[in-house]
Amino acid sequence: MKFSIARFWREKQAHYRLKAAKCKSCGRVNYPPSSICRYCGSRDLEEIFLLNEKAKLLTWTIIYSVAEGFEDKRPRIIGLVETIETKARILAPITDVLPEELSEGTILEPVLRRINEDGEAGIIHYAIAYRPVIKPVGRKED
Amino acid sequence: MDRVFIVGVGMTKIGRFYDKSGRELVSEAILKALEDADNIKPKALVLGNMTSSVLMEQDSLAALAADYSGLRGIPAFKVEAACGSGGAAFYAGYSLVKSGLADTVVVAGVEKLTEKLTADATKALAQAADAEYEVFYGVTFTGLNALVARLYMNKFGYTREDLAYWPLRMHEYASYNPYAQLPRKTSLEAILKSPVVAEPLHLFDCSPIGDGAAAVVITKNEELAKNIAKNTGKDVLVEVAGIGMATDSVDLGSRRDLLTLESTVKASRDAYKMAGVSVKDIDYAEVHDAFHITGYLALEDMGFAPKGEAPKLWKEGKFAKGDKPEVNFSGGLKARGHPVGATGIYQIVEATMQIRGDFPGYKASDPVIAVTQNIGGIGTYSIVTILRRYR
């Protein structure tokens, strides 16, 4: 067993629901969540979740020389996205898309995806990835 | 004011040394530095290293290095600041000397990256990033730099070819450096056609994986420094005129500006202020180009180029021989090599030798003031050191 089970149990709220901490003093959203605002130092923060927000793509990379444990997921697209309303920046896998379809500003939505697995018998990790917003077939956009 | 002098330097060639252990490499560098310092006995050892726990499966590294360098018994400890471990070790060693706790200190750096497979080294190096919120998703360290490179290219309108002039020149400089891992010239075509590692970064845009060690001996005893110089036939004394260190977030996402190494801005301004120099006074620089993009950002954030213009100026031939500052005549991390925790010490060794005039590679134009910039992560740590010719 290579992975720490306690660690991923502890991080569920952040990895599954994008738990973040909004500073009541400067208004910035801290993601990953923290007990002190990493921008202004205030200790007055409230818990928020970024799961219901769309995000825009700031930058991305297509990784061919992948890290250990991701050999069967090559190439891997990783993006840095910014949530539309709360302006939190999140690093996450970009999924359900061909690399050439991506561009700066692409609008994305969060989806739950398998990240990797700890061998045959170990834990399977899921977390939030982002995919381009799917336009419903046969319906015109307003 | 107590001045701190660099009285001895030593380094090993950088490469994939399957026949040499980490302790052999660091011992070689330390013994060379001590010999260059007239074989004085240092009072303490500070060692920069990042990955020994993981790749060498060895802690207690500084005591091991001391023992295998004939220094058993002296205070010794390891400093870890990712790729900035060497610079941070120098910062700690300088503090020991300045405080008077030890008047003569040897600061070394060592990294043994080829002990395991490249995938293992890649994983160990990724630990510079946020384990729980970045590395977890399968991003590599090259991948994180690629995110910055793409953003930079998009924002300032550069192509891959525009940025390729950095590795091109680094390879040329390294071809003169007997210590370099990649001492050979290359071509724009070879750089552009090299295999992709993490788009938009290709293999030749990145520093190589290699082993190496470097060491410097510092003292605040001016009389001793002068005697060492005399006894070892040197007519130039090099002093540490200023040093600055700063940190930024470990995760890339929460940076204030994704295209500025704010820790480098802070560390460099602190170092300039301490040395009483301005950007325009600096004759020579060794900057941290783990990737071409970090080299360009370093030039901008140290104040040598306006934001967004470093690649343009570089392509026009700025920062080459005869310019001010002259940059990375060692070949940089890109071609001299990047033995992680040793890199910051290599830079200080090279800048010292450029001032002394005995660097055995591409020679700078008789610099008086030199600067080194070593970073850990993508600017999570920055350590900037100013060296100056004393007499």
**DSSP characters over B123-136:** HHHHTTS-TTTTGG
On the question of pLDDT at B11 being above 60, the answer is yes
Residues of B annotated as catalytic (active site), given as ranges: 83, 338
On the question of pLDDT at B139 being above 90, the answer is yes
Q: Using a CB-CB distance cutoff of 8 angstroms, which residues of chain A are in contact with residue B249?
A: 38
Residue B91's Cβ-count burial label (10 Å; 0-12, 13-18, 19+) is buried
Q: Is residue A140 part of a domain?
A: no
Mean pLDDT, range B73-79, rounded to an integer: 98
Host H or E run for residue A29 = strand A29-30
Give B372-382 pLDDT, tens digit per residue.
999 999 999 99
Q: Is residue A114 part of a domain?
A: yes
pLDDT band at residue B258 under the 50/70/90 scheme: very high
On the question of pLDDT at B9 being above 90, the answer is yes
Rounded CA separation B152/B259 (Å): 7
Q: Is residue A142 part of a domain?
A: no
Beta strands across the sheet bearing B44-48: B76-79, B44-48, B104-111, B212-219, B4-11, B238-247, B381-389, B369-376, B284-286, B326-327
Q: B108: helix, coil or strand?
A: strand
Give B260-305 pLDDT, tens digit per residue.
999 999 999 999 999 999 999 999 999 999 999 999 999 999 999 9
Q: Is residue A141 part of a domain?
A: no
Q: Using a CB-CB distance cutoff of 8 angstroms, which residues of chain A are in contact with residue B254?
A: 30-31, 38-39, 89
Nearest chain A residue (CA) to B142: A63
CA distances from B87 to A60, B58, B215, B268, B345 (A): 30, 21, 11, 13, 6
pLDDT value, residue B204: 98
Mean pLDDT, range A65-74, rounded to an integer: 88
End-to-end CA distance of chain A: 50
Give B24-71 pLDDT, tens digit per residue.
999 999 999 999 999 999 999 999 999 999 999 999 999 999 999 999
Q: Residues of chain B with pLDDT > 70: what percent?
A: 100
- DSSP assignment letter at B325: S
Say if residues B54 and B113 touch (Cβ distance below 8 Å). no
Mean of pLDDT over chain B: 97
CA–CA min distance B299, chain A (Å)? 22
* CA A93, A94, A100, A106 torsion-angle sign: negative
Q: Using a CB-CB distance cutoff of 8 angstroms, which residues of chain B are in contact with residue A71?
A: 119
Give B216-244 pLDDT, tens digit per residue.
999 999 999 999 999 999 999 999 999 99
On the question of pLDDT at B189 being above 70, the answer is yes
Rounded CA separation B74/B135 (Å): 38
In the numeric block, which tokens belong to residue B251? 């995760």
Q: Is any Cβ of chain A less than 8 angstroms from the Cβ of B254?
A: yes
Pick from A61, A68, A76: CB nearest B123? A68
Of how many residues is chain B composed? 391
Q: B167: helix, coil or strand?
A: helix
pLDDT band at residue A4 under the 50/70/90 scheme: confident
pLDDT value, residue A1: 59
Rounded CA separation B229/B161 (Å): 46
- Domain of residue A122 covers 5-132
Q: Is residue A137 part of a domain?
A: no
pLDDT value, residue A140: 56
Q: Is any Cβ of chain A less than 8 angstroms from the Cβ of B264?
A: no
Beta strands across the sheet bearing A29-30: A29-30, A19-23, A45-49
Closest CA to B319 of B358, B351, B359, B287: B287
Q: Is residue A86 part of a domain?
A: yes
Mean pLDDT, range B172-196, rounded to an integer: 98
| Number of domains composing chain A | 1
Mean pLDDT, range B244-256, rounded to an integer: 97
On the question of pLDDT at A135 being above 90, the answer is no
Q: Which residues contact B344 (CB under 8 A, 6 or more apart)?
A: B48, B84, B85, B86, B87, B88, B89, B90, B109, B372, B374, B383
Q: Do A89 and B254 touch (CB under 8 A)?
A: yes
On the question of pLDDT at A94 being above 90, the answer is yes
Q: Indicate which of B116, B117, B123, B133 best probes the interface with A, i.e. most A CBs within 10 Å of its own CB.
A: B133
Say if residues B37 and B228 touch (Cβ distance below 8 Å). yes
On the question of pLDDT at A139 being above 70, the answer is no
| Kind of pairing between the strands at B196-199 and B284-286 | unpaired
pLDDT value, residue A119: 84
Q: Is any Cβ of chain A less than 8 angstroms from the Cβ of B1?
A: no
Range name among A18-27, A68-77, B165-174, B219-228 with the lowest pLDDT average: A68-77
Question: How many CB atoms neighbour CB B66 within 10 A?
Answer: 25
The single residue listed with the structure tokens 């005591």 is B63
Mean pLDDT, range B121-130, rounded to an integer: 94
Nearest chain B residue (CA) to A9: B132
Q: Is any Cβ of chain A less than 8 angstroms from the Cβ of B155?
A: no
Q: Using a CB-CB distance cutoff of 8 angstroms, which residues of chain A are in contact with residue B252?
A: 80, 91
Based on C-alpha coordinates, what's the Rg of chain A? 17
On the question of pLDDT at A138 being above 70, the answer is no
Q: Is any Cβ of chain A less than 8 angstroms from the Cβ of B191?
A: no
Q: A98: helix, coil or strand?
A: coil
pLDDT value, residue A25: 98
Cα angle B311-B312-B317, degrees, rounded to a multiple of 5? 95
Rounded CA separation A130/A95 (Å): 6
Say if residues A25 and A42 touch (Cβ distance below 8 Å). yes
Host H or E run for residue B353 = helix B340-356
Q: Is residue A138 part of a domain?
A: no
> ipTM score of the complex?
0.94
Q: Which residues contact B272 (CB under 8 A, 6 or more apart)?
A: B242, B244, B278, B279, B386
On the question of pLDDT at B112 being above 90, the answer is yes
Q: In chain B, at which residue ranges do the beta strands (DSSP E only) sit? A: 4-11, 44-48, 76-79, 104-111, 196-199, 201-202, 212-219, 238-247, 284-286, 326-327, 369-376, 381-389
pLDDT band at residue A8 under the 50/70/90 scheme: confident
Rounded CA separation A51/B109 (Å): 44
